Amino acid sequence: MKDNRREFIKKGTAFAALSAVGAGSLTAGILDSDDSKKIVNSKISTQKKVEWPMIVGPDMPKMCMPISTRATIEEMRQTKQIGVDYVQMGGGSIPWKEGELRTIIDHFKTEGLTVINMMIGGMTNIIQGKEGRDGDIEKIKESIISAGKAGIPVVEYNFYVARLMDGYYELKGRGGAGMTAFKALATDLPPRANAGPFTADQLWANLTYFLKAVVPVAEKAGVRLAVHPNDPPVPVSHGSAQIIASFKDWKRLIDIVNSPANGMTYDCGVSREMGEDPVEVLRYLGSKDRVNHIHYRNVTVEEPYKKYAEVFYDEGQVNMFAVMQEIFRQGYKRGLNPEHPRLLAYDQEHPRGITTWKQYPGGGGYAGEAYDMGYTRAMMQAVLSAT
């Protein structure tokens, strides 16, 4: 009986090892081995030889992080030191001027950083369909043209009446680290001053009006537009609909104007918050060439749309490796932002930071960013090693 039990344990261990390393290149004979180490060693010996250092080339995803346009030399060097070569930021008041954008770009070039994305504002009248929107659309057009001339490839924007920040709270994670958690509040929160309420039909009409005006300009300027999904992805916020809050919404958005210039900021965390498979969402958007920027982060979801927590990349429900594999499979080569750092003790003791995420409960600073960037770089190199 003991011998049979011992043999069962050995075979079980071997099967566990096989599951860990993958069965694709293993022969059936190895399964009969008493030593599970042979399985692992056999798999390792069949892997391709990879030369290090592993270089992420120019035609691959470009890891980037947010930073102020007024970043100091010290802050720029802190960014560079953790392996980041690309940065993104808000572009300031509209209309953007080519000369002003070039000044910003040249500022970061001094420390070897490239501006890859700018977030544009001045959208309130456009979103709400108020008087003055046509003038603001002209300013957006001028800004897009200036971005193209200055060499900024992506202009990002939001399209919501009132972001639902009310449901955020801090949740303590491992070692007391700050996690950003969310729980949906009542859907009958009152509208904010001069902000609605607006129905979904009204907002879709306003978004369509906007896209039909600006996408042709973006195409001609060589600029891609990327709308950030509603996050939190609840259907209603302070009385107004949120129309970029579901995968169905995302599909509808990219069909309004059939152009790669009309794309999205794909967010694997938001995808999971909505109860979707992040890889399938990415695959769909990529098949249409509509992934114009990427946010890379992880979450644990108790109830889609309503209750979740933003966690360390290694402990959430998103398969971060599978997402990165799909990013590389698509040949994506624009910005990849590992975002929303967790709040570490170091950042509490050294609150300077170089990002704005600290305004979120549980949101961190530079140390949290360093963790995120290191993890993301490792995922990129793992994919390259496995291809």
Same domain, 323 and 245: yes
Stretch 24-53: mean pLDDT? 53
For the chain, what percent of residues have pLDDT higher than 90? 74
pLDDT for 52: 84
Amino acid type, 284: Y
- What distance in Å separates the CA atoms of residue 18 and residue 30, rounded to the nearest whole number? 10
Query: Which whole number is the average pLDDT over 175-200?
Result: 87
How confident is residue 299, by pLDDT bands cut at 50, 70 and 90?
A: very high
Residues 200 and 243 in one domain: yes
Q: What number is the average pLDDT over the span 194-221?
A: 96
**Mean per-residue pLDDT, 123-136:** 97
Q: Are residues 10 and 117 in the same domain?
A: no
Residues 118 and 181 in one domain: yes
The answer to whether residues 226 and 121 belong to one domain is yes
Judge if 42 and 107 occupy the same domain. no
- What is the mean predicted confidence (pLDDT) over 249-261? 98
pLDDT at site 166: 86
Domain boundaries, position 163 = 62-386
23 lies in the same domain as 98: no
| pLDDT at position 330 | 97
114 in the same domain as 25: no
Q: Is 90 exceeded by the pLDDT of residue 44?
A: no
Q: Are residues 126 and 227 in the same domain?
A: yes
Q: How far apart are CA 274 and CA 139, in angstroms?
A: 34
Hey, how many other C-beta atoms are within 10 angstroms of the C-beta on 40? 15
- pLDDT tens digit sequence for 108-125: 999 999 999 999 999 999
Q: Does residue 105 sit within a domain? A: yes
Domain count, the chain: 2
The residue written with tokens 């109860």 in the block is: 275
Give the orientation angle of helix 200-221 with respect to helix 247-256, to 10 degrees: 50
Establish if 52 belongs to a structural domain. Answer: no
Distance from C-alpha of 273 to C-alpha of 163, rounded to nearest angstrom: 16
* CATH number of the domain enclosing 213: 3.20.20.150
Confidence of residue 249 (pLDDT cuts 50, 70, 90): very high
Same domain, 22 and 70: no
Report the pLDDT value the prediction gives residue 9, as an integer from 0 to 100.
39
Tell me, yes or no, whether 95 and 194 share the same domain: yes
Residue 35, pLDDT score: 56
pLDDT of residue 328: 97
